[in-house]
Amino acid sequence: MADIDTANLVLVNEGKTLQQALFEQIRERILCGSWLAGARLPSTRALALELNVSRNTVIHTYDQLLAEGYLVSKAKSGFFVAVTPPDKFLTTIGSKSPASQGTNNSPNNGLFAPGVADFSQFPTKQWNRYLQRHVGRSSLLGTQDLQGLIALREALAAYLTSSRSVECCADQVIVTSGAQQSIAIALLVTQSASTTRPFLVESPGYKQVVKVLDLFNINYDYVTVSSVSGLDVDAVLSSSASGVYLTPSNQYPMGCSLNTDQRLQLIEWAKRGKRWIIEDDYDSEFQFDSRPFRSMQGLAAHASSADQVIYIGSTSKVMFNALRLGYMVVPKHLVARCLEVKDALSGDTPSQTQAALADFISEGGLVRHIRKMRRIYEAKFQVIKTKIKQRFSGDWVVVSQGAGLHITVEWRSKVDEVLFANQAEQRGVVVRPMRFYRPEQDKDIPQCEGRNGAIVLGFGNAAIDDIAPSINQLSILYYQLLNDLE
């Protein structure tokens, strides 16, 4: 079969990353039949040279096309158009255009959108093999254990014990459809509309928690997190609250962490007043600046106080968001009550993905993937941090630690963070203004000291080559808005 002539590929990247633009161009040619099944594409090096883009951009684009079934790769021969492009088949059956099936067309997944993992690096082929292993098992087709498949709970208990110093056995693990469901279960089990003592949530903080509190009419209050001093631990310790939701290892979104002493004080506070700590450990696998702190659950267990701690984790950051699998580790006396709530909310969790995940963890795939991603995210973190320093020379200050998939910056000027974020999105760059994470601002609670604007930039799913040009774009926009104010 002939080699493909790529001379007519033209990269128009208005509002898109180079990787996205290239992906769409190649996909379009395959879907409209101008590149025939079996034809060979140029090597990544040759195409990068031809288009004057980095080789990584082409490698990531080919990876995405491989993962979605548009290309196949043959050892020592190269990349070929797949015989049956999957989306073409879908397009014929349904009425959706290929564009409407795009992989990345939601602003939630756009460049710098926080909380999105690097999809291009996920070992899709390996994951498909695990799924294939289990789709044909008739024992997985009926209603399953509400608590989660035992194989997965055992794998998770072993993983959490070794990676996060969580102390638990499989009987305490409940598999859920993500941290969001775990948060809802934890709050419904420990709080109720008639609980008079408020429950505390971080501010700024993870908005999804407040949604549950509002939905179920649970009384709550905010505890401030500042870029200078982190969580106001004294405010928690002096409150009569019924419990607190915390992201202690990488506060979302400020990116600070609680040290061991603060953790121990909070555990003691919970134990003394029979209060609850809901620990959301959503991305602790990715710490670049320091060794991760031991989980609060593990620390509490060591001090015989784990009865007051509910530990929550998710696969959204270490794998991908759409998997919708998470877990919670709860004290033994809460398991039955949590299961009643889970039963009422959703029933059991899809079994085949659970079985695939159990194998992925127990055969070492997850830990290998995490190790690889830690290096990749750290490299992206260094690029974005350095570039921000270069382009903003102190006007933007990075306040978050080197961890996770996002970076948080503050500025002192009067540039409005919401206006800035809206205008950035029009230029194809998605950043989150801090106001998004501070719903209580409407209630006139003072802002963090010394800053006027702040935004959160997710670098997880940004191609490393797109980071520098996008920060350049953001700096042009920022200084334009600043000029307009003067």
Ligand X SMILES: Cc1ncc(COP(=O)(O)O)c(C=O)c1O
CA angle 128, 130, 133 (to 5 degrees): 110
Strands, DSSP E only, in 378-452?
A: 396-398, 406-411, 432-433
Residue 118 CB, nearest approach to ligand X (Å): 14
The two tokens of residue 190 are 């420990």
Each residue 304-333 as x (binds ligand X by CB under 6 A) or -, in order, gives ----------x-x----x----x-------
Minimum CB separation of residue 283 from ligand X in Å reads: 7
Q: Which is nearer to ligand X, 204 or 326 (CB)?
A: 326
Kindly tell me which residue out of 24, 118, 202, 280 binds ligand X, with binding defined by CB under 6 A: 280
Helices (H), ranges, 138-250: 150-164, 179-190, 207-215, 233-237
- Select the span of 82-90, 126-134, 175-183, 449-457 touching ligand X (CB under 6 A): 175-183
Minimum CB–partner distance for residue 460 and ligand X (Å)? 10
Which lies closer to ligand X via its Cβ, residue 80 or residue 127? Answer: 127
Antiparallel, parallel or unpaired: β 276-280 and 243-246: parallel
Nearest Cα neighbor of 454 from 438, 432, 434 is: 434
- Tell me the closest approach of the beta carbon of residue 285 to ligand X, in angstroms: 13
Q: Which is nearer to ligand X, 202 or 417 (CB)?
A: 202
Which CB atom, from 109 or from 262, has the smaller least distance to ligand X? 109
Q: Which is nearer to ligand X, 16 or 406 (CB)?
A: 406
Owner of token pair 């194809």: 428
Backbone angles phi, psi at 175, to 5 degrees: -85, 135
Quote the least distance from Cβ 209 to ligand X, whole Å: 8
Count Cβ atoms below 10 Å from residue 278 Cβ, excluding itself. 25
Identify which of 97, 51, 43, 115 has the alpha carbon closest to the alpha carbon of residue 458.
Answer: 115
Shortest gap between Cβ of 50 and ligand X (angstroms)?
Answer: 38
Stretch that binds ligand X, among 61-69, 177-185, 232-240, 445-453 (CB under 6 A): 177-185
Under a CB-based contact definition with an 8 Å cutoff, are residues 296 and 243 in contact?
no
Residues 6+ apart with CB under 8 A from 171: 153, 332, 335
In the list 81, 157, 173, 179, the residue contacting ligand X (rule: CB under 6 A) is: 179
Q: Which of 57, 61, 64, 180 binds ligand X (CB under 6 A)?
A: 180
Half-sphere exposure of 197 (CA within 13 A, CB side): 14
Nearer to ligand X, 242 or 251 (CB): 251
Q: How many residues line the site for ligand X (CB under 6 A)?
A: 13
Q: How far is the CB of 84 from ligand X (least distance, A)?
A: 32
Q: Which of residues 219-258 bind ligand X (CB under 6 A)?
A: 247, 252
Q: Which is nearer to ligand X, 53 or 312 (CB)?
A: 312
Shortest spacing between CB 246 and ligand X, in angstroms: 10
**Which of 296, 278, 329 minimizes the C-alpha distance to 156?**
329
In angstroms, give the least distance from the CB of 436 to ligand X.
Answer: 12
Q: What gap in Å lies between CA 175 and CA 128, rounded to an integer? A: 21
Establish if 282 lies at the interface with ligand X (CB under 6 A): yes
Q: Does 17 bind ligand X (CB under 6 A)?
A: no
- Tell me the C-alpha distance between 481 and 486, whole Å: 9
CB of 252 to ligand X, least distance (A): 4
| Beta carbon nearer to ligand X, 247 or 352 | 247
Helix (H, G, I), strand (E, B) or coil at 154: helix
Q: With CB under 6 A as the contact rule, which of the stretches 43-51, 172-180, 261-269, 468-476 interacts with ligand X?
A: 172-180
Contact range with ligand X by CB under 6 A, out of 129-137, 178-186, 271-279, 416-424? 178-186
Shortest Cβ 380–ligand X spacing (Å): 17
Query: 44 or 247: whose CB is closer to ligand X?
Result: 247
> Which position among 206, 220, 360, 381 is part of the footprint of ligand X (CB under 6 A)?
206
CB 308 within 8 A of CB 277: yes
Separation between Cα atoms, residue 286 and residue 153, nearest integer Å: 22
281 versus 417: smaller Cβ distance to ligand X: 281
Q: Rule CB under 6 A: which of 84-123 touch ligand X?
A: 115
Residues 6+ apart with CB under 8 A from 370: 285, 286, 318
Pure H helices in 196-320: 207-215, 233-237, 260-272, 296-302
Q: Does 178 bind ligand X (CB under 6 A)?
A: yes
Site for ligand X contains 349 (CB under 6 A): no
Rounded CA separation 380/401 (Å): 14
Burial class (CB in 10 A: 0-12, 13-18, 19+), 135: exposed
Contact residues for ligand X (CB under 6 A)? 115, 178-180, 206, 247, 252, 280, 282, 314, 316, 321, 326
